[in-house]
Structure 1
Amino acid sequence: MKEIKWIFVLFSVAAAADIIGIGIAIAEESIVGILGSIVLIILIMGFGFKTKKKYREEGRL
C-alpha cells in the first residue's frame, strides 16, 4: 500500500479551490479576481510540480 503524500493533497485541494475562485470571479464579473486567481493557480501548480520533482530526485516518490 502506498503512503499518502499530504503535501500533494494540499496542493490539489488549493488548486481546485482556486479554479472555483476563477468561476466565482467570472460570475461576479471581477477582472481583478479573475486575474488574481489565474496568477494564484499558476503559482500553486508551479510549486506542486517543483515539489514533485524534488521528491522524485530524493527518491521519496
Structure 2
Amino acid sequence: MKQIKWLLLLCALLAVVSMAFIGVTLAEKNVLGICLSIVFAMIFMGTGFTLKRKLNVQS
C-alpha cells in the first residue's frame, strides 16, 4: 500500500472547501466572498499540482 501524502491531501481538502464556499457566497450574493473563494481555490489547486509535479520529478 502506498504512503499517504498528507500535504497533497491538505491542499485537495482546502481546494474543495474553497469551492464549497463559492456556492455559499453565491447564495448569499456576496461578491467579495465569491472573489476571495475563487482566488483561494486557485491558490490551493495550483499549490497541490506544483507539489505533485515536484514529488514525481524526485521519484
Partner amino acid, structure 1, of 2:57: E
Partner amino acid, structure 2, of 1:54: K
Does 2:34 match 1:39? no
Which residue number in structure 2 is paired with residue 51 of structure 1?
Answer: 51
Higher helix share: 2
Shift of 1:20: 0.9
Give the number of the structure with larger relative contact order, counting CA–CA contacts within 8 Å between residues 6 or more apart.
Answer: 2
Q: Secondary structure at the match of 1:13?
A: helix
Q: TM-score, normalised by structure 2?
A: 0.94
**Structure 1 stretches of 5 or more lacking a match?**
none
Shift of 1:12: 1.1
Cα RMSD (Å) = 0.7
Q: Which runs of 4+ in 1 moved over 3 A?
A: none
Q: TM-score, normalised by structure 1?
A: 0.91
**Structure 2 stretches of 5 or more lacking a match?**
none
Shift of 1:8: 1.2
